[in-house]
Amino acid sequence: MQKLIEIVGLFLFSSVKFLFAPSATVAAGYGFVETLIITISGGVFGVFLFFFSGSWILAKWSAYFPNKNPSKKFSRKNKLIVSTKNKFGVIGLAILMGVISIPLASFLAARYFRYNPRTIPYLIASICLWSLGLTFFSIIIKNNLV
C-alpha cells in the first residue's frame, strides 16, 4: 500500500513539476523503465488536465467578460507576444515544456494553439523526449555517485 501511495505521489509530481520528477523517481529507487512509465504517464495526465481545464477557463472568461472593443491596440507587449508565437509556435512551446512547468505550458498552449490539431501530440512527444533525457541523465548521475 505504501508503494502505491509513493507511485501516485511521483505520478502527481510528474504532472506538475516535470523537470525534477525523473530525478526524484530515480532517487526513490525505481529503475529506468519504471521511471519512464511513471513520469511519462504523469506528464501526459498533466498535459490533458491543464490543457482542457485551461481551455474551459478561457471559454468561461470570454463568456463573462466579452471583448467590448474588438479593435486591439498594438502595444509593445502585444507585438512581443504575437512575434514570439509566430516565430516559435507550438513546437517552441513544446520544447520549453521541460524547463517551464506543465501547467504553464499547457495553459499557454490552450490560450494560443487551442485549435491547432497538432498541439496535444507535440506536447505529448515533448513529455516523452524530456522524460527519456532526464531519466537517462538521472541514472548516470546516480550510478556515478554510488
Rounded to two decimals, the pTM is: 0.85
- Cβ burial, residue 109 (10 Å; 0-12/13-18/19+): buried
For residues 135 and 125, give the distance between their C-alpha atoms in angstroms, rounded to a whole number.
15
Q: Enumerate residues 6+ apart whose C-beta is below 8 A from 10.
A: 21, 24, 25, 28, 30, 38, 39, 42
Please determine, for residue 143, whether its predicted confidence score (pLDDT) is greater than 70.
yes
What pLDDT is attached to residue 70? 66
Whether 68 has a pLDDT exceeding 80, the answer reads: no
C-alpha 71: how far from its chain's center? 32
CB 119 within 8 A of CB 90: yes
pLDDT tens per residue, range 17-35: 999 999 999 999 999 999 9
List the chain domain ranges: 2-65+73-145
- What pLDDT is stored for residue 79 in this prediction? 78
Report pLDDT digits (tens) over 89-109: 889 888 888 888 899 899 989
